Amino acid sequence: MVASMGEILARAKKDKYGVGAFNFTNIEVLETILKTAKRLRSPVIAETSESEMNFLGAEVIAASFNVLAEKLTVPAVLHLDHGKSFSSVEMAVSAGYSSVHIDGSLLTDPENIKITRAVADYAGERGIFVEGEIGRIPGTSTVHKQEGMKINLTDLTDPSAAASFFAATKVNCLAVSIGNLHGVYPGRERLDLNRLGAITEVVRGFLSLHGGSGICEADVKSAIQLGIQKINVNTELRQAFIGGIRSEMAANPEEIRPYEVLPEALERVAKVVEEKIYLFGSDGKY
C-alpha cells in the first residue's frame, strides 16, 4: 500500500530495524524492488535521484509507483533522493512524491539551512516528509577503483551542528556523514559509531544512512541499533542490473528481445534487495 515515510520510520525506530531506500531508473527495477519487499513482508522506500527522475519523468514515475504500490500488502513510499534545488523538490511533489531529500551539503552551512528550511516550510504545508543533510558524504554511486577515500574530518557530521541544523530547519530526518561513502570501494567502509551515538543523543528526529553499498555489514547492524532508520542503496543495484545484462548479452550476442535479456538482470537486482532487507532486519514486519 502507498504509505507515509513518517509512519514506516516511526515503526522502524520503535522496533530498531532499518528500512531500505532503493534507487531505480526504470519501471522494471521499481517493480522488482516492490515485489521483493512484498515477498519478504518488509516496508520499502523506492527512490530516484534528480538524474533518475529526469530520465524517466517525475509523472511517469509517480503514476507507475501508485499503480504498483496500491496492490502491495506492505507499505511503500516514493522519495526524491538528493534533490539539489527547490525546483527539483517542486517537480517531485507536484508529480506525487510524498517524501523529499533536500541536499544542500555542498553549500555553506547558512545557505544549507536557508534552502532546507524553505523546503521544509513548503513541504510541511503539503504533508510532505523532508530529509535534510548536514556534513558531506563523498563519492558517487559507481564502482571506484581506489582503496577507500580520504574523508576530511570537516566533512563528517558534527553532533552539535546536527542539533542546530535540525532545530533551525524543522526537517523530519537527517542524512549524516559518519564514514559512509557513495559507491563501492575495494574493502568495506567502516563507520564512526561513536560519532553516530553522539548525534543520536542530541537529534530526536529520524536518521538516514546514505552510501548503503559496500559498508561493513557489522557496522550497518550497529548503526541501526544506535538509531539509523533509513538506509539508501544504489550502486549494488546498478552493478546487479548492468552485470545481468552484460552476462546475458555475452552468452547470447544475437539476442535483441528485451524480455529475454532483462530477467537475469532483474533476478540479480532482487537478490541485492533481499540481502539488504535481511541485513537491515525489516523482513517479516508486515
CA distance 105 to 127: 24
Q: What grid cell was written down for 71?
A: 496492490
Told to check if 101 binds Zn ion by CB under 5 A, we report no
Told to check if 104 binds ligand G3H by CB under 6 A, we report no
Binding to ligand G3H (CB under 6 A) within 110-169 occurs at: 141
CB of 144 to Zn ion, least distance (A): 15
Task: Specify whether 192 is catalytic.
Answer: no
Told to check if 213 binds ligand G3H by CB under 6 A, we report yes
Instruction: Return the residue of 38, 79, 210, 268 that touches ligand G3H, per CB under 6 A.
Output: 210
Q: What grid cell was written down for 248?
A: 546475458
Instruction: Return the residue of 234, 265, 268, 277 that touches ligand G3H, per CB under 6 A.
Output: 234
Instruction: Return the residue of 210, 230, 238, 268 that touches Zn ion, per CB under 5 A.
Output: 210
CB of 47 to ligand G3H, least distance (A): 7
Window of 57-65, 83-91, 206-214, 259-267 that interacts with ligand G3H by CB under 6 A: 206-214
CB of 261 to Zn ion, least distance (A): 29
Catalytic residue among 15, 81, 155, 283: 81
Q: How many chain residues are in contact with ligand G3H, going by CB under 6 A?
A: 14
Told to check if 79 binds ligand G3H by CB under 6 A, we report no
Told to check if 211 binds ligand G3H by CB under 6 A, we report yes
Site residues (CB under 6 A) for ligand G3H?
23, 81-82, 141, 182-183, 210-213, 232-235
Site residues (CB under 5 A) for Zn ion?
210, 232
